[in-house]
Structure 1
Amino acid sequence: MENSIYNSMIAANQLLEKQTVISNNLANISTTGFKEKFNFTLKNQYMENFYNKDNKITKEYYNFFPGILNYTKRDLDLFIKDNGWLAVKDKNGNEAYTKNGHLKINSKRMLTIQNNEVLGNKCIIRIPRNVILKILSNGIITAIEKKKNSFSETKIGSLKLVHLPLQDLIQKENGLFYLKKNSLLNKNINHNNKITVQSGALEESNVNPSKNMIEMISNARQFDIQMKIISMCEKNSEYANQLFNI
């Protein structure tokens, strides 16, 4: 009886965790560059044999399949191609990575993504005033300035574009991706010359709303079943106690 209640409680908790993940996916349908997240459960056979209980380990993984392209025609909107990522500095000063290429210029004339400073390839990118920016496919940023009857084009920096092993990535609450602590890679990933970008386009979220809604409904029904099992076990326990008292 106790095992049944225990197993149902474990299953119910896992379903609640899945619902939280699905809710977050659905809330980010319109978030640029967002990657769909899932939980999956593995049985820990050693722990199960040792404790004689149903022990499971829940792990998370991400759907890194690219989202559809939104052609904005905005010069500071970038689509990072293939398995490329933009490097940024988060609010704690740590290097992080994103597929969100919606760049803005802050009051300090720095390029930012969601208020996180965009990192340059061995340089600090500072945007001059009264210039037209142009970002080349290799990440080089140039400033076009009109002087009298002619235009001059000057390189002002280069984006840090990186290639990352997907199995070593983890997403934090700020929406940015980081290398896992146990990653064998150096924490400071070098710029990769093979990564290219496309200006005037953004990669949209890859969340499949229909699929997530179906899973949410399915999880809710399974949760109700586990609650009914727990309730039934408690009632049976009460009946058994009454019989013993007699």
Structure 2
Amino acid sequence: MENSIYNSMIAANQLLNKQNIIANNLANISTTGFKETFNYILQNNSVNNWYNTYNKIEKEYYNLSPGSLNYTARNLDLFVKNDGWLVVKDPNGQEAYTKNGHIKINSKRKLTIQENEVIGNNCNITIPDNMNLKILSNGVIAAIEKKNNEVFEKEIGQLKLVHLSMQNLIQKQNGLFYLNKYHKLFNQYNNIIAHNHNVRIQSGALENSNVNAAKNMIEMISNARQFEAQMRMISTCDKSYEHANQLININN
């Protein structure tokens, strides 16, 4: 009976973790470039008893499919194609990767995504005042200036673009992706990936979140019912303990 209560407790805890992931998916349904997260349970082969719930371990994985495109016609809105990623510097100064291409210019004339500075390809990007920008498909940033009815373009830098499969990445609570430290690339590049000249971007469009709202709502309801079932199991076992104790006291 003790095993039943313990197993129900662990199962309920796993369901709560799953509910947190689903809630985070739904909360980010309108977040640009957000990738839907799931979790699944693996059997821990290091434990001899294969039938206990507490022998299982949880893993996260991501929905790799692209979200729908939102055509904004804004020059600083970018869609990164296929397995390409934009590179930003997080608050700790570490390189991180994102599909969110909604770029802004801060007070220091730096390009930012969600207040994280965008990293250039072997360059520090500073945007001149009163300049229109154009970002080419290879990430080159050109400042456009009109003089005497003529248009002049000047290259001021290039975005750093990297090619990484989702299997090589993990997502942290800040919403950014990082290279998985257990992957061979981590040691090879010291967690700094080189610019990839084959990655292409599209200006004037943003990738929407790929969260399936209906599917996540159904899973949330299903998890809630399973959680209630585990709670009833714990309550039933608890009542059985009480009855057993009463019988023991009577016999004594």
Deviations, residues 176-204 of structure 1 (Å, cap 9, x unaligned): 00012222112110011110000000000
Aligned partner of 2:195 in structure 1 is: 191
Decide whether aligned partners of structure 1 residues 7 and 199 sit closer, same or farther in structure 2, where only a CA change above 3 A counts.
Answer: same
Aligned partner of 1:27 in structure 2 is: 27
User: Do the aligned residues in 1 keep the contact of 2:10 with 2:53 (CA within 8 Å)?
Assistant: no
Aligned equivalents of 1:105, 1:165: Cα separation in 2:
29
User: Do the aligned residues in 1 keep the contact of 2:143 with 2:154 (CA within 8 Å)?
Assistant: yes
Q: Which moved more, 1:232-241 or 1:177-186?
A: 177-186
Q: Which moved more, 1:169-178 or 1:141-150?
A: 141-150
Aligned equivalents of 1:129, 1:15: Cα separation in 2:
52
Q: CA RMSD in A?
A: 1.4
> Does residue 1:214 correspond to 2:218, yes or no?
yes
Aligned equivalents of 1:53, 1:34: Cα separation in 2:
32
1:64 deviates by 1.8
1:147 deviates by 2.0
Q: Which moved more, 1:27-36 or 1:177-186?
A: 177-186
Q: Which moved more, 1:81-90 or 1:181-190?
A: 181-190
SS in structure 2 of the partner of residue 216 of structure 1: helix
SS in structure 1 of the partner of residue 241 of structure 2: helix
Deviations, residues 120-146 of structure 1 (Å, cap 9, x unaligned): 011111111111100001110001111
1:151 deviates by 1.7
Aligned equivalents of 2:131, 2:236: Cα separation in 1:
71
TM-score under structure 2 length normalisation: 0.95
Deviations, residues 64-93 of structure 1 (Å, cap 9, x unaligned): 210000000001000000110000001110
Deviations, residues 205-225 of structure 1 (Å, cap 9, x unaligned): 000000000000000000000
Deviations, residues 40-83 of structure 1 (Å, cap 9, x unaligned): 11111321439977411001111121000000000100000011
SS in structure 2 of the partner of residue 129 of structure 1: coil
User: Do the aligned residues in 1 keep the contact of 2:85 with 2:97 (CA within 8 Å)?
Assistant: yes
What is the one-letter code of the residue matched to 1:138?
Answer: N
What is the one-letter code of the residue matched to 2:36?
Answer: E
Q: Which runs of 5+ in 2 are unaligned?
A: none
Aligned partner of 1:97 in structure 2 is: 97
Alignment: residue pair count: 246
User: Do the aligned residues in 2 keep the contact of 1:48 with 1:54 (CA within 8 Å)?
Assistant: no
Aligned equivalents of 1:221, 1:94: Cα separation in 2:
41
Aligned partner of 1:150 in structure 2 is: 150
Aligned equivalents of 1:89, 1:191: Cα separation in 2:
15
Decide whether aligned partners of structure 1 residues 22 and 135 sit closer, same or farther in structure 2, where only a CA change above 3 A counts.
Answer: same
SS in structure 1 of the partner of residue 247 of structure 2: helix
What is the one-letter code of the residue matched to 1:135?
Answer: I
Aligned equivalents of 1:14, 1:135: Cα separation in 2:
45
Q: Which moved more, 1:210-219 or 1:172-181?
A: 172-181
SS in structure 2 of the partner of residue 49 of structure 1: coil
> Does residue 1:245 correspond to 2:225, yes or no?
no
Aligned equivalents of 1:52, 1:19: Cα separation in 2:
22
1:241 deviates by 1.1
> Does residue 1:224 correspond to 2:209, yes or no?
no
SS in structure 1 of the partner of residue 215 of structure 2: helix
SS in structure 1 of the partner of residue 170 of structure 2: strand
> Does residue 1:119 correspond to 2:123, yes or no?
no
TM-score under structure 1 length normalisation: 0.97
Deviations, residues 89-111 of structure 1 (Å, cap 9, x unaligned): 01110000000000000011110
User: Do the aligned residues in 1 keep the contact of 2:11 with 2:53 (CA within 8 Å)?
Assistant: no
